[in-house]
Structure 1
Amino acid sequence: MNMWKRHLSPKKRITLLIGQFVVLVICIGYIEYFYTTRLLPDKRAQAVFNSADCFLVSKKLNTRNYPKHVYRADFLVSYNVNNVQYNRWAFGNGMDRSFSESKGEQEAILARYEVGKTYQCWYDPEDPQLVVLVMRHDWRVTFPLILPAVVAVIMLYYFLTNAVGLMGMMGTVISKRKK
Structure 2
Amino acid sequence: MPKGKQPAGDSGLSGQEPDDSILSLLPPEGAHGDRSVRQIAVDRVTINAKQPRLALPPLAIDELTASIREHGVLQPIIVRPTEPGSYEIVAGERRWRAVLSLGLPMIPAIVEAMSDEIALEVAIIENLQREDLSPLDEAAIFARMTSELGYSIRKLAERIGKDKGYVENRLRLMHAPAD
Higher alpha-carbon Rg? 1
Higher share in strand = 1
TM-score by length of 1: 0.28
TM-score by length of 2: 0.28
Higher share in helix = 1
